Amino acid sequence: MFFSSLITPVILIVLYGTFLSNVYKDSFQSSLPEFLSVSDKLINGTVAAQLAAALLAVSCVTVTFCVNLTMIQDKANGARKDFNVSPTGKPVIYLGYFFSTVFNSLIVNGLAFLLCMGYIRKMGWYLNTSDILYLILDVIVLVLFGSVLSSIVCYPLKTQGQMSAVGTIVSAGYGFICGAYMPISNFGKGLQKGLSYVPSTYGTSMLKNHMLRGVFEEMKSKGFPDDVVTGIADSLGCNPVFRGHVVSSAEMLAFMVGTIVVLGIIYLIITALPEK
């Protein structure tokens, strides 16, 4: 299961670079005013940063679900019976599942992060040290979010069929819900308003902001008007709106951390309840 989880980000980066890069490139070029002359390096760097942010936004959460399926598998194959008769409290067992999910997911997504950095280096590098540190923080926060969310979802499941269903649904749908495959700005107004209440929207936007900060600075240094740069950032989903207010990166981080704390408390409560 660990190696199958490791394969996921590798497959994603190949698929993104092969298919989605041309779509993103055409979309970006069509949104630029005709009077602006843009170098291929800047275009490729923008597309690569957007692809890397989308990949990490999806991988940080879907990989945690892949890793946390061990919790269900142990129930299905009877391994949990050995744990249940041991002198260890049930909450401790479930905390063990949680921390192992965090640890293994950080390994997988750390390798995915290195792959993304290599891809951006090849296409067009506009990152500095602070951007990289912020991106590492984003990955850790998203892995924690995915780990606690997957722990809550997987807790009541007991069969291999349920395990397969959850894995399929999350893998197929999460990328659209979080705005990775398609920016939230491309959705309808009602859907945009609904997704503004979903934490994953801000996790993806955090990654995009830190991936694209250097690109936007380069655009401004090349003479791009501020309103054009802001329009590009809006179109890429870097400026999510909540009840008419543009959410800043600090507010996104605070919202994600608050969500992790709330979900963590819920997880601790449900694991402390008596079990059949």
Gap between the Cα atoms of 215 and 212, Å rounded: 5
CA–CA gap between residue 118 and residue 48 (Å, rounded) = 10
Q: Is the pLDDT of residue 33 over 70?
A: no
pLDDT tens for 87-135 read 888 888 999 999 999 999 999 999 889 989 998 998 888 999 999 999 9
Half-sphere exposure of 52 (CA within 13 A, CB side): 34
SS (H, E, C) the chain: CHHHHHHHHHHHHHHHHHHHHHHHHHHHHHHCCCCCCCCHHHHHHHHHHHHHHHHHHHHHHHHHHHHHHHHHHHHHCCHHHHHHCCCCCHHHHHHHHHHHHHHHHHHHHHHHHHHHHHHHHHHCCCCCHHHHHHHHHHHHHHHHHHHHHHHHHHCCCCCHHHHHHHHHHHHHHHHHHCCCCCCHHHCCHHHHHHHCCCHHHHHHHHHHHHHHHHHHHHHHHCCCCHHHHHHHHHHCCCCCEECCEECCHHHHHHHHHHHHHHHHHHHHHHHHCCCC
Give the pLDDT score at 39: 79
| Domain extent listing, the chain | 2-272
Q: Is the pLDDT of residue 143 over 70?
A: yes
More confident residue, 23 or 117: 117
- 236 has a pLDDT exceeding 70: yes
pTM as predicted: 0.89
Could you tell me which residues come within 8 angstroms of residue 24 by beta carbon, excluding any fewer than 6 positions away? 47, 50, 51
Residues whose CB is less than 8 angstroms from the CB of residue 85 and which lie 6 or more positions away in sequence, other chains included? none
Q: Comparing 138 with 10, which gets the higher pLDDT? A: 138
Q: Residue 2's pLDDT band (boundaries 50, 70, 90)?
A: low
Angle made by CA atoms 14, 20, 25, in degrees to the nearest 5: 125
| For residue 276, pLDDT beyond 70 | no
Give me the chain's average pLDDT, please: 85
